[in-house]
Structure 1
Amino acid sequence: MTADRDPAIEHLERLAAQLEAHAFQVRLSAPEDGSPTLRVINPMEPSMAEDVLASDMNDGEWWYWLSWGGRIGHASDVVTAAERIASVLYVTRR
């Protein structure tokens, strides 16, 4: 990661690419006065959406978090994090 880029954005971009590969819609938001977030939407059921954040634990370890504070997984394991998010946004059709 380069020193001039926000590491949270870089982690969220990696996660976004993984989620797009699973056919989820993603939208990265990086407000100047707040934390970057990744909006993840299930295109088959747009009401199923979640905001994801990337944050370090002040020890250099980066984690993905759901907007309500649930820890998803370590940022170095993007595949597992994407699978966990997919399981939250999965809709069973009857």
Structure 2
Amino acid sequence: MSSIGQVASAATAVTAVAHLQALGDSLQARGLHARVGETSGGIPQLIVVSTVVPTLSEVVFAAQGEGAWWFWWPWAERIAPVEELTTAVTRICGVLTPSRRS
């Protein structure tokens, strides 16, 4: 990934927000809270919080990597291409949904 911290233009930021909003809508349909916001540096981000265990939360970014748009964890690890919304939702839910162990 080039850099999560660098949004090249207003058009890039608008694209990132659109991808994050679509992801947020899908995550909310799966029972998580999701809100698009900005970092203190103005970078679009999606804040996702578990409704079961509110202390479980994560931030997701949308940015280009090697020419394609991806969803990214804050530590610059790819989650899934933005075209694979179901894969991204499944991976994020896996992190923010407590396991049901008896």
Which TM-score band (shorter chain)? Answer: 0.7 to 0.9
User: Displacement of 1:33 after TM fit?
Assistant: 3.6
User: Displacement of 1:4 after TM fit?
Assistant: 9.0
Provide the alpha-carbon RMSD of the alignment: 1.9
Residues 55 and 62, structure 1, Cα contact 8 Å, conserved in 2: yes
Q: Where do 1:11-90 residues align within 5 Å? A: 11-30=19-38, 33-57=41-65, 59=67, 61-90=68-97
Question: Please, which runs of 5 or more residues in structure 2 have no aligned partner?
Answer: 1-10
Moved over 6 A (4+): none
Q: TM-score, structure 1 length as denominator?
A: 0.86
Q: TM-score, structure 2 length as denominator?
A: 0.80
Distance 1:6 1:88, change over 3 A: same
Question: Please, which runs of 5 or more residues in structure 1 have no aligned partner?
Answer: none
Q: How many residues align?
A: 91
| Identity of matched residues, % | 32
